[in-house]
Structure 1
């Protein structure tokens, strides 16, 4: 029987699955397609690491490892929902919840000394950060707005804040002594095993990584950020924000860049509160309180210290003395510096640009902002968009074009594969990358605390990326720009490879060029203001940035994008959009039994999954399910059945009912398979006849608290009851 693997993930997407998956499984069965789930949630990943400590009934398999293996096979058909890329505070919170549920899990070892602690730390570090995506992404990314979504956005434009020509909003970035400026890059000539070694000034050698397998043609980079330069830069920007009267904000990705960016975030916290750390730094360190956990974790932890009240006063004084801080939640006093995972650059920057270049200040009002992005690798694209909006005003979603993306990400390409090769220099000296014969390929002089990292980009994914770019340019007719900078070490090598591999394809009649990221961004903006589309062909980090930046400006959200990953060995991975607002949605559900999460991305991913399955398995009914689902989704949009924003309107569960209704009606009306049409005619009729009753049952539960039995690991029975509250809908669906 043909299979679709549906991932069980976290937060709002996971809760939505309790409602939507029964519909998917019921409809899929009519085409002989089985839908199975695999638990790759943060809780599930944690539990799978410690089977020896758990009761037999508590143990679960390592579903992520299983799916990683499946992704290398041609039969793979995986629908991947957004998952938590856990920051350290999130990881600790999940561990605490699971311990409270009776799981015998160790605490996260901050400073592991024993072999047992080191083993536990290694297992938790496998789970921390973006542990899922590098495992599953055995292909490159094809991400674009489906036609139905783009048409809807043009006829129902989302709100955009007006821009002023005298806006003081800007990006601040280092430009020197950072990852971009210190980068060195080499191409590996033959299969080898590299090592990374720290050589202290007295000659003492410490092996940081003893085995780094590489393949012929692979690109290996090494770079570092000077912590002294970082601290000078941060001090200057804090003073600049105060002088200019704008909010101070920092934009990192402490989830995906789970080693380097939490360290950088910690330096931001220390730089903003210099007096606090001068006075109490030793006490905080002795208590195991890390600035990398954020101001929120610090304030929670110091309550137990004798100096707790004085430290809290020093924090309050630091806030008073510094520039106004951008806020995550001004009502609750949660600042930009409270939690490292609260302000994620790829989502936070386009949201700021969409809102007149404003973030929220401590007074609950919007204000111009200094957006601090320390590393200069890609900060320039955001400054380019800000400068354009300052000069030309806000974009118009009713007329603007689109910027689809072809992204290089397979096999943990580029910076997003660096976390197991990122180190904080323990002493002055050199960090070297050596080949198997001991020859030094890359070296950097470092000082204590400098953040050094290496990353890999295999040749096969680069070839596939170029092929995908040509394929998309041919299919769409839009020009394609490779966002690469010849003055950057890594990009210079990629430019040579791109030019070589483009020659393997028929590019006649296609407009394919290479430009620096800021220039490519400027060209793309100029074209979207004219209503024209431009394919951005980018590396892994820019893939992440661009697939939030442009969709948020065009559509109001990146969750409505079609995200296909054609796996290099023939399978398909279908991703369903971003999950950035998922925590707030869960909080609202628990408080008032209302889930605002929009599953539209799942509808598109599911249609693409059925289409892929139809081609792989020669399954005509799967193709019918795909085509009818696409038409049903267009009706869904035109009828405005996405979740409302307030109680008394349909929420996520109601949107699923309407999708099921429109899909059943499309299946009943299609003429390619009479037996299938007959089967769905009675279901469509029953759903339509009971529409008001079902909607009333779904609305009736709103306004009261909902118990799902846990945030990171809800109880299935409770979550099912909450997410499937219409007995009538459940009965009609079961009748198929």
Structure 2
């Protein structure tokens, strides 16, 4: 039976759901549309590992492989280790019998617990649900709004010292080797030690005919030299030092790299106290904040804190996450996520915030060079041509290869911190070596997989979008990179299966493709970027943040390969700050526009799946209501006293009810919604006053990672008049 599954996730998106979902359920029920929820929050996923909650993620993963799938997926926490530990602590305090996170498991019970927690941390949700490739673009209504109401862009100076620093050699990109499997097989990854011992790192790795398998490693000695040089460079150039990684999605490799950044910035600290910190289980991978919190219990605690202050004083100025609270770029590995932090820096003129609370030029350190050139190309363009103008600029939409955990985002279970010198080998079932690398202790080695069927589907989606949009589509692939060479061959083969007459379809290296796209942007022209999984993530933040001010306003459709649909609602990078503001002053600034957009194609798909035309009427009315919502500027204002997330939901409900009452395709629905539309219009002032009246005081939601449903609902639905009006449906 057809149904829409609405996901409960985390932080601000979850709180917004307590306000918006009752509206959706009330409207949907009048058209016979079934809406159910599934809890895939980090708290629920932790509890499911220990049999204390349903495995909702596993259930949705199975559903995503069926034609019946119709899932609305809100942003979720991709938990870093500090976030995971915080969630565990909160759940323990609520009475759940779950173990601590074992940093260095030494018993079978600890190893079992660690294995369970490893299934939750990082990007555990997206690889399970994304059984299709990605189609992300700014809806016309959003683009038109941005042109009519351009957001603020910081000025760029031609003599800006802001730059990207990247290794360019001895990194993941430089060391990559790639093979295409000639037949179904089972691979083994092993480490052959310099002393002849063999350690199996991964066995039973099933692969399919035509699958692309890559192996690569980060040379950690070269990484450490590079990082020391960049700390010195930032100091010499008198710019802020910042590191930009993806410690959430790249949950094994990037926290390790982050730890090396912390050590490079505080060399004296780790020379003097590295052994004591390690003995106490304090890892630089968890960030400076975790270190400072933990050292109070050590005999040398005060001396260690003094060494940190000395490092801050002697090194370059550190970019800040929150200068008022002293939270630096290196405090928490999940605080500075590259796909959100780099566009924000570019948008405000190449600046980040310094310890003095002012904006400064910045050295953005992106160690691996696979995609760093994309950001440098945009910076170079801004230095030469100034800031972009949202009122006139074109768009870069994206078709992303992500199905079946493609590429780097599927590498977590095949990423290893090498314990001893030797050679890592990838062998087929016949014992033949397909890929091998000589490695040293501490090197970070990883393998990635990209199956053939998703590549073929990706090419098809790119051609479909290029024809529908009538604009050039560019595959961001570099023939000098091993993985990309294999993809280029497949792309050329599969493009030949389609009618591409009259279409402009190009293949360019990422930095060159960036320059091509931003040149078109300045002329007001649109381009489709056709990219792999990581660049999909980067581009669907980079261009929307520049074009429309946020990536939360994107239409994100995943046509699932087996026929269903997954509808994503934007990015959640700013969600933690929104929750903090709500708890402090009962004001939620989160913008639910992404949910409004996602619900339209979800309802359209439901109409196809169920044969219920009322769902299509709901969708069309919601589409028109959302455009009115934008034109009337009813998104949340920035501070207490204006409408927040709850007020924006009220106005969407008002405009949606009005559109349903006025439509002529379904007389029964028009009749059902006419009284509600009249009531909401009549009581608009009263409802808005009730929503604003609660602002300014602390709000109790009963938990951060697992809010109390009754408390959260009470906080997010404070208007008695609105609640009673909806109940009349």
Question: Which residue in 2 is equivalent to 1:56?
Answer: none
User: Are the counterparts in 2 of residues 4 and 36 from structure 1 also a CA contact under 8 Å?
Assistant: yes
Deviation at 1:34, TM superposition (A): 1.1
User: Are the counterparts in 2 of residues 427 and 448 from structure 1 also a CA contact under 8 Å?
Assistant: yes
Q: Secondary structure at the match of 1:2?
A: coil
Q: Any idea what the Cα deviations from partners look like across 1:446-497, whole Å, max 9, x if unmatched?
A: 0000000000000000000000000000100010000000000000000000
How far, CA to CA, are the matches of 2:353 and 2:500 in structure 1? 47
Gaps of 5+ in 2: none
1:244 and 2:237 are equivalent in the alignment: yes
| Alignment equivalent of 1:328, drawn from 321, 326, 332 | 321
Question: Which residue in 1 is equivalent to 2:166?
Answer: 173
User: Are the counterparts in 1 of residues 2 and 609 from structure 2 also a CA contact under 8 Å?
Assistant: no
1:404 and 2:397 are equivalent in the alignment: yes
Equivalence map 1:20-35=2 (5 Å): 20-35=20-35
Q: Any idea what the Cα deviations from partners look like across 1:185-236, whole Å, max 9, x if unmatched?
A: 0001111110110000011000001111100000000000000000000000
Deviation at 1:403, TM superposition (A): 0.2
How far, CA to CA, are the matches of 1:733 and 1:548 in structure 2? 35
Equivalence map 1:512-531=2 (5 Å): 512-531=505-524
1:463 and 2:441 are equivalent in the alignment: no
Question: Which residue in 2 is equivalent to 1:577?
Answer: 570
User: Are the counterparts in 2 of residues 431 and 446 from structure 1 also a CA contact under 8 Å?
Assistant: yes
1:235 and 2:228 are equivalent in the alignment: yes
Question: Which residue in 2 is equivalent to 1:48?
Answer: 48
User: Are the counterparts in 2 of residues 2 and 32 from structure 1 also a CA contact under 8 Å?
Assistant: no
Question: Which residue in 1 is equivalent to 2:269?
Answer: 276
Q: Any idea what the Cα deviations from partners look like across 1:395-418, whole Å, max 9, x if unmatched?
A: 000000000000000000000100
How far, CA to CA, are the matches of 1:417 and 1:244 in structure 2? 38
How far, CA to CA, are the matches of 1:153 and 1:613 in structure 2? 30
Equivalence map 1:204-603=2 (5 Å): 204-603=197-596
Deviation at 1:60, TM superposition (A): 1.5
Q: Any idea what the Cα deviations from partners look like across 1:48-70, whole Å, max 9, x if unmatched?
A: 1112xxxxxxx321000000000
Deviation at 1:728, TM superposition (A): 0.7
How far, CA to CA, are the matches of 2:77 and 2:53 in structure 1? 19
Runs of 4+ in 1 over 3 A off after TM superposition: none
| Alignment equivalent of 1:190, drawn from 183, 195, 199 | 183
Question: Which residue in 2 is equivalent to 1:629?
Answer: 622
Question: Which residue in 1 is equivalent to 2:8?
Answer: 8
How far, CA to CA, are the matches of 1:235 and 1:541 in structure 2? 27
Q: Secondary structure at the match of 1:86?
A: coil
Question: Which residue in 2 is equivalent to 1:652?
Answer: 645
User: Are the counterparts in 1 of residues 654 and 680 from structure 2 also a CA contact under 8 Å?
Assistant: yes
Deviation at 1:29, TM superposition (A): 1.0
How far, CA to CA, are the matches of 1:734 and 1:212 in structure 2? 53
1:90 and 2:49 are equivalent in the alignment: no
How far, CA to CA, are the matches of 2:512 and 2:576 in structure 1? 36
Gaps of 5+ in 1: 52-58
Question: Which residue in 1 is equivalent to 2:664?
Answer: 671
Question: Which residue in 1 is equivalent to 2:36?
Answer: 36
TM-score between the two structures when normalised by the length of structure 1: 0.99
Deviation at 1:618, TM superposition (A): 2.7
Deviation at 1:612, TM superposition (A): 1.5
TM-score between the two structures when normalised by the length of structure 2: 1.00
Equivalent residues, number: 729
Q: Any idea what the Cα deviations from partners look like across 1:660-712, whole Å, max 9, x if unmatched?
A: 00000000000011111000001101111111111111111011110000000
How far, CA to CA, are the matches of 2:227 and 2:608 in structure 1? 54
User: Are the counterparts in 1 of residues 42 and 79 from structure 2 also a CA contact under 8 Å?
Assistant: yes
Equivalence map 1:671-710=2 (5 Å): 671-710=664-703
User: Are the counterparts in 2 of residues 333 and 362 from structure 1 also a CA contact under 8 Å?
Assistant: yes
Q: Secondary structure at the match of 2:119?
A: helix
Deviation at 1:616, TM superposition (A): 2.7
Q: Secondary structure at the match of 1:6?
A: strand
Deviation at 1:330, TM superposition (A): 0.5
